[in-house]
Amino acid sequence: MSFDIFLLVFFVVMLPATMCIHHYFLQRSTKQNIKKYNISAERWASQRKPMLGGAGFMAGFVIAVVVWFFVSDNFGQECEKLHIGIIMSIVLAFVMGLVDDIFNTSPAFKFLMQFAVSLILIYSGVYIDIFDSQYLNYALTIFWIVGLMNSLNMLDNMDSVTNTMCVIVLCGVLVTMFAGTPDIFFTLILLGSLAAMLSFYRYNWHPSKMYMGDNGSQFLGVLLAIMSIRYLWNPAAAQMPNPVYPFLIVYLAFLVPLTDTATVTVNRLMEGKSPFVGDTNHTTHNLSYRGLSDRQVVVVLAVVNLLSAAAAVYFLIVPPQTAWPLWTAGIIGIIVSGLLYANTKIARPKSN
């Protein structure tokens, strides 16, 4: 069996398999009354729904790792420090998120665990490599991993929003993978996780039956950090000598999550609030205040991030001969981010 056909069969099989896994966790959560510990925290909808969507993501990842272990000899792979470090970091992030869902841990605990995840990945060789100084590379890597884990956690405030943005980014990464020579390990864990995310729509599309929870957002944060470092940050730095270009590529790929994080952080600080205390003043909520339904909000943001991520992938696969096309895309992205931010200043009801 050829490599491409093997991957296609694996992905097709994983779609119904992970849907069954999500269904199992939904039924188990309902029977055992497994719900969010901190149900009083602010969210767009009730937090009394089961929050084990991340367990389905983790199951897809574990199945992919097991399959890789059995087929790696056939495809010339061996278990190395890189693979062990990635597995450890993703498991740690998932467990940390699950513990937070169950016990409502402190922000300090979550930060320490996210910092530990970053160190594991750096030690394993997964780090951003765009500066001459390794210390700057390591510092940026820690900032990116911790920031992305928190960014996706913040964005998970409305049905299917975070899942959709992550699916778009991972599909873009998949395209960049196959534009070169795919690595069996990274391809399998991406496809296994992506299948679990796609099947999750069955239970997370509005009106949802289940949330991904912190166990899901933390899992996705680490997974996307790993994939973006390997297939966005470093390839952009290798192809384009200007160190600003990798930042523009990543900004375009993650336009909606980064915009939402910046928006809520600035707004909360301006109001004298902690950036880590939830509210209903995200970009998603303010689009809803404009009269869009929850589903329409997801579609609008999906179109925005799809176009910007597609531009990032295009520039990676077909590097521009001059800087102006990438700068033009970056300026357009900044304008879009600015409009989304401006909407949060004019759309929010005064009573809130």
Amino acid 118: pLDDT:
98
CB 176 within 8 Å of CB 59: no
Domain membership of residue 61 (yes or no) is yes
Domain membership of residue 351 (yes or no) is no
Cα–Cα distance list, 77 to 69, 190, 195 (Å):
9, 17, 23
CB 228 within 8 Å of CB 147: no
Task: Give me the domain span that covers residue 216.
Answer: 3-346
CB 184 within 8 Å of CB 178: no
Helix pair angle (255-270, 134-155), 10° resolution: 80
Q: Tens digits of per-residue pLDDT, 283-301?
A: 999 999 999 999 999 999 9
What does the pLDDT average to over 80-86? Answer: 91
Amino acid 38: pLDDT:
53
Amino acid 40: pLDDT:
47
Domain membership of residue 153 (yes or no) is yes
Amino acid 3: pLDDT:
85
As for how many domains the chain has, the answer is: 1
Contacts of 276 (CB under 8 A, 6+ apart): 107
pTM of the model: 0.92
pLDDT bracket for residue 49 (50, 70, 90): confident
User: Is the per-residue pLDDT at 315 higher than 50?
Assistant: yes
Please list the alpha-helical segments (H only) found in the chain: 3-32, 53-71, 81-103, 107-124, 134-155, 161-179, 184-204, 213-228, 234-239, 244-253, 255-270, 283-289, 294-317, 324-346
Amino acid 51: pLDDT:
87
User: Is the per-residue pLDDT at 220 higher than 70?
Assistant: yes
Q: Please tell me the distance from the alpha carbon of residue 283 to that of residue 9, in angstroms, as a whole number.
A: 38
Q: Which residue has the higher pLDDT, 219 or 40?
A: 219
Average pLDDT, the chain: 90
pLDDT bracket for residue 79 (50, 70, 90): low
- Residue 342, CB half-sphere, CA atoms under 13 Å: how many? 6
Q: Tens digits of per-residue pLDDT, 226-281?
A: 999 999 999 999 987 778 899 999 999 999 999 999 999 999 888 888 777 777 88
User: Is the per-residue pLDDT at 77 higher than 90?
Assistant: no
Domain membership of residue 352 (yes or no) is no
Amino acid 43: pLDDT:
52
Amino acid 236: pLDDT:
93
Q: Tens digits of per-residue pLDDT, 110-157?
A: 999 999 999 999 999 999 999 999 999 999 999 999 999 999 999 998
Amino acid 250: pLDDT:
97
Domain membership of residue 299 (yes or no) is yes
What does the pLDDT average to over 63-87? Answer: 82
Q: DSSP letter at 208?
A: P
